[in-house]
């Protein structure tokens, strides 16, 4: 099952920071696209490590 999550992106200095408020993951990159890609990767790793966090009933 696919689940839609939110990416909130803001700039800090020379970097863009992306946060996923539903999961609590965050990442950064030198562009918005890179920050979101890195956030997707971090969230996938989190999902693999803590699958119970994604069980929605």
Which two three-digit tokens encode residue 49? 């490590």
Burial of 17 (0-12, 13-18, 19+ CB in 10 A): middle
Q: What is the pLDDT of residue 56?
A: 56
Mean pLDDT, 10 residues at a time, over the chain (57 residues)? 89 98 96 99 94 71
- Domain borders along the chain are 8-54
Torsion of CA 53, 19, 44, 51, to 10 degrees: 0
What is the pLDDT of the chain when averaged over all its residues?
A: 92
DSSP E strands, the chain = 8-12, 15-20, 25-29
Q: Alpha-carbon distance 44 to 46, whole Å?
A: 5
């Amino acid at each position: 099952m696919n689940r839609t999550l939110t990416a909130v992106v803001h700039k800090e200095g020379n970097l863009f920071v992306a946060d996923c408020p539903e999961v609590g993951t965050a990442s950064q990159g030198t562009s918005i696209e890179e920050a979101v890609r890195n956030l997707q990767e971090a969230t996938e790793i989190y999902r693999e490590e803590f699958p119970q966090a994604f069980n929605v009933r």
